């Protein structure tokens, strides 16, 4: 016996990426729309008058006046342990990490603290309309156990991983190449594809991992070819110079990750603000992905990704908040302030870019 339920409101329905198919063909908007759900699956959508004519008799209908229904948003880069330090001021990225981020992440050795923050974090995502996210834990295995446990309870689609970090951080946040491999492997075995949970191998960024640890990250990707990779790339010019000093034998920042076989169609690199032309081409060639985090990058003074440039190379780009570097759990509100006109079509463009990006 089917269990139908219909929802009536204004509906913005995404049909494709507006940068690829053009704005007019990228969406359908129903001022008075009806969305029909059959046992958790959308079975019909369209103008209310048309859908009502074909709707099964006695179907329950919930009406939301002056509301807009859209697809759930996808956040491609966010740190759940930084929830309680959101928008803490830091002059530059590296100062911000040392002054705020590392001390806050140290608290996640306590599983109860990790569970409490994970629960609050996930509720905040839902409150802001985000149903899928790519999430950093901390170096502590328990932080990711707590996170996946809470996400699984809510049946959310989360891609998350334990941070791998064996140098250039406080002692209380360092693991080893061996422990990062074994902890990550155990988490993959327990959580990857359990319900709607997915795992991402998560070296924090090149400066906080030795060559031995980055090699272990590559090994995990070879052993589990359907897991994801998430890390940071070229967010800050000072950071880029630091990477060059730590890996002088490599051609550049991206080449560090490339050397350890970390590029690919499931690899998501946060920020990528200051890429060189050769790096753009290499990302395109490997079908690697950029997570564009404008609110965070502007808040921390890192710069702003040249989106037309990287998309012109054919690089896939998703939007991320980068909480706690960003001041909010949803990116479209600050982004609307960046566009000169607030007409319906411009707002639609932003919303559709949030809705349609898929890994």
Instruction: Please tell me the distance from the alpha carbon of residue 24 to that of residue 15, in angstroms, as a whole number.
Output: 10
Q: Are 228 and 264 contacting, i.e. CB atoms less than 8 angstroms apart?
A: no
What pLDDT shows up at residue 341? 36
Instruction: Please tell me the distance from the alpha carbon of residue 280 to that of residue 352, in angstroms, as a whole number.
Output: 24
Task: Give the CA distances from residue 48 to residues 2, 8, 152, 300, 324, in Å, rounded to whole numbers and listed in that order.
Answer: 21, 7, 34, 45, 40
pLDDT-derived band at 328, boundaries 50, 70, 90? low
Looking at residue 71, what DSSP letter applies? P
Asked whether residue 356 carries a pLDDT value surpassing 90, the answer given is no
Where are the domains positioned within the chain? 4-69, 73-356
Q: For 4-69, give the CATH class.
A: mainly beta
Rounded to 5 degrees, φ, ψ at 310 are -75, -35
Instruction: Please tell me the distance from the alpha carbon of residue 160 to that of residue 144, in angstroms, as a whole number.
Output: 7
Where helices occur in the chain by DSSP H, the ranges are: 18-21, 48-54, 93-96, 102-105, 111-127, 141-154, 177-191, 211-223, 237-246, 253-259, 277-286, 294-299, 307-312, 332-336, 344-356
pLDDT-derived band at 104, boundaries 50, 70, 90? confident
What pLDDT shows up at residue 111? 95
pLDDT tens by residue, 180-215 = 999 999 999 999 999 999 999 999 999 999 999 999
Task: Give the CA distances from residue 288 to residues 199, 279, 311, in Å, rounded to whole numbers and listed in that order.
Answer: 17, 11, 12
Average pLDDT score over residue span 260-283? 98
> Which CATH topology does 73-356 take?
TIM Barrel (3.20.20)
Q: Are 158 and 198 contacting, i.e. CB atoms less than 8 angstroms apart?
A: yes
Burial of 341 by CB count in 10 Å (0-12 exposed, 13-18 middle, 19+ buried)?
exposed
**pTM metric for this prediction:** 0.87
Instruction: Please tell me the distance from the alpha carbon of residue 130 to that of residue 320, in angstroms, as a whole number.
Output: 11
Helix (H) and strand (E) counts in the chain: 15, 13
b/e sequence 106-127, b meaning 16+ C-beta within 10 Å:
bbbbeeebbbebbbebbebbee
What pLDDT shows up at residue 16? 85
- What would the two tokens of residue 83 be? 């929830």
User: Could you tell me which residue, 169 or 82, shows the higher pLDDT?
Assistant: 169
Average pLDDT score over residue span 63-92? 83
- What would the two tokens of residue 219 be? 């090994």
Task: Give the CA distances from residue 161 to residues 40, 134, 179, 291, in Å, rounded to whole numbers and listed in that order.
Answer: 28, 9, 14, 16
How confident is the prediction for the chain on average, in pLDDT?
Answer: 88
pLDDT tens by residue, 280-293 = 999 999 999 999 99
What pLDDT shows up at residue 94? 66
Rounded (to 5) percent helix, strand, coil in the chain: 45, 25, 30
């Amino acid at each position: 016996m089917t269990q139908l339920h219909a929802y009536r409101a204004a509906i913005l329905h995404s049909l494709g990426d507006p940068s690829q198919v053009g704005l007019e063909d990228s969406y359908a908007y129903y001022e008075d729309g009806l969305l029909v759900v059959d046992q958790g699956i959308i079975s019909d959508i369209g103008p209310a008058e048309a859908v009502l004519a074909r709707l099964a008799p006695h179907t329950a209908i919930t009406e939301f006046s002056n509301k807009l229904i859209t697809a759930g948003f996808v956040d491609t880069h966010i740190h759940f342990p930084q929830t309680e330090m959101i928008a803490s001021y830091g002059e530059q990225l590296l100062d911000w990490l040392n002054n705020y981020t590392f001390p806050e992440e140290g608290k996640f050795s306590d599983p109860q603290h990790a569970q409490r923050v994970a629960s609050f974090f996930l509720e905040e995502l839902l409150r802001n309309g985000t149903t899928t996210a790519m999430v950093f834990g901390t170096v502590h295995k328990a932080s990711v156990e707590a996170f996946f446990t809470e996400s699984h309870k809510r049946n959310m689609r989360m891609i998350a991983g334990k941070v791998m970090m064996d140098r250039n951080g406080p002692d209380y946040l360092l693991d080893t190449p061996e422990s990062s491999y074994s902890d990550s492997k155990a988490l993959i075995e327990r959580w990857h594809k359990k319900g709607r949970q997915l795992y991402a191998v998560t070296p924090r960024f090149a400066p906080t991992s030795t060559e031995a640890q980055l090699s272990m990250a590559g090994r995990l990707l070879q052993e589990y070819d359907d897991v994801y990779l998430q890390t940071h790339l070229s967010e800050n010019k000072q950071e880029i110079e630091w990477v060059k000093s730590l890996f002088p034998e490599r051609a550049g920042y991206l080449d560090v990750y490339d050397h350890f076989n970390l590029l690919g169609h499931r690899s998501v690199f946060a920020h990528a603000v200051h890429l060189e032309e050769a790096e753009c081409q290499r990302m395109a060639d490997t079908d690697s992905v950029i997570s564009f985090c404008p609110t965070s990058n502007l808040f921390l003074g890192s710069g702003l990704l040249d989106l037309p440039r990287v998309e012109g190379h054919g690089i896939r780009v998703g939007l991320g908040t980068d909480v706690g570097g960003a001041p909010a759990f949803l990116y479209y509100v600050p982004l609307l302030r960046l566009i000169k006109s607030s007409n319906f079509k411009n707002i639609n463009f932003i919303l559709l870019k949030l809705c349609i990006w898929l890994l």
